[in-house]
């Protein structure tokens, strides 16, 4: 890597993601660091929500950026960097899900039902005037677990759309599936999520 750069070159922070990636391909360490700073939060959030595992998300996010670095010369200029990055992240998350399924180290629906039941009891308590921090954490844990129990191919589309806010066209590129398939997967994922959270939703009054 070459940390020395031409002083007349534009400041790293003002460069686009794609320009930064072009510099990473030339072994520019500062450009790589800037890219990591820009995207580390989104990558960790994506894999963390897909896997519902904060600890593993850190390692997996690191692996995503290592792949970016290792394959830096395979990045095609002209394609959107974030699409390429999310493709790598989605593929690694898929691999991790499948590895866990093989090892049967995964969430059970019973655990979800139990957590939802507890949350409903807490939230339905009439003496509670507002959500305490504990209740909020429980609610978030229940929602996170509900997302994690959606089947893999629907879950990835759901997280990319409804948590990361990617447009349908970009999700199609990331998952390498047609746009119509993306829409149908997201619709199905949303229906599944609604069904899983239904016991909770019926008790919670929308703000």
Partner 1 sequence: MNCTQARRLFGACWDDETTQVERELLESHFASCPRCRAAYDEFSRALELAASLPRVEPAPDLVERLLSRVRRLGPAPDHLPALRPVWLPVAAAAAVLVIVGILLAPWFGLRPAPPSGPSQLARQPVAQPVRVPTAAPQPAVAGAPAPRPGAGTEFVGIPDSLFDHSEDMEFILDPVTLHRGRASVARASLKQPGIQGEQAVITF
Instruction: Provide the 10 A C-beta neighbour count for residue 205.
Output: 7
What ranges in the chain are assigned the alpha helix state H?
17-25, 29-51, 54-70, 81-102, 109-124, 133-148, 152-158, 168-175, 179-203
Stretch that binds partner 1, among 4-12, 41-49, 109-117, 127-135 (CB under 8 A): 41-49
62-81 residues in contact with partner 1 (CB under 8 A) are: 62, 65-66, 69-74
Question: What is the pattern of x (binds partner 1, CB under 8 A) and - over residues 137-176?
Answer: --xx--xx--x----------x---xx-------------
From candidates 25, 56, 112, 177, binder to partner 1 by CB under 8 A: 25
CB of 93 to partner 1, least distance (A): 13
Tokens of 10: 């534009």
- Round to whole Å and give the CA distance between 193 and 60: 25
Q: Which residue among 21, 31, 50, 57 contacts partner 1 (CB under 8 A)?
A: 57
190 binds partner 1 (CB under 8 A): yes
How many other CB atoms sit within 10 Å of the CB of residue 68? Answer: 23
Q: Are 83 and 174 in contact (CB under 8 A)?
A: yes
Residue 6 has which token pair?
């031409």
Distance CA 7, CA 11 (A): 9
Q: Which residues bind partner 1 (CB under 8 A)?
A: 1, 25, 27, 29, 32-33, 36-37, 40-41, 44-45, 48-49, 54, 57-58, 61-62, 65-66, 69-74, 139-140, 143-144, 147, 158, 162-163, 183, 186-187, 190, 193-194, 197-198, 201-202, 204, 206
């Amino acid at each position: 890597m070459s940390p020395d750069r031409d002083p007349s070159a534009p400041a790293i922070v003002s460069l686009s993601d794609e320009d930064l990636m072009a510099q990473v391909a030339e072994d520019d360490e500062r450009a790589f660091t800037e890219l990591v700073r820009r995207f580390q939060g989104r990558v960790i959030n994506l894999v963390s929500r897909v896997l519902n595992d904060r600890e593993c998300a850190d390692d997996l996010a690191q692996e995503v950026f290592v792949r970016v670095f290792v394959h830096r010369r395979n990045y095609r200029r002209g394609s959107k960097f974030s699409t390429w990055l999310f493709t790598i992240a989605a593929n690694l998350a898929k691999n991790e899900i499948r590895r866990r399924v093989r090892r049967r180290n995964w969430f059970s629906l019973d655990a979800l039902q139990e957590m939802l039941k507890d949350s409903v009891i807490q939230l339905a308590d009439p003496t509670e005037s507002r959500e305490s921090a504990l209740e909020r954490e429980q609610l978030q844990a229940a929602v996170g677990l509900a997302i994690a129990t959606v089947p893999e191919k629907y879950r990835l589309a759901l997280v990319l759309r409804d948590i990361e806010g990617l447009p349908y066209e970009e999700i199609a590129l990331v998952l390498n599936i047609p746009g119509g398939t993306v829409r149908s997967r997201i619709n199905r994922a949303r229906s599944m999520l609604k069904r899983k959270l239904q016991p909770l939703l019926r008790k919670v009054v929308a703000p």
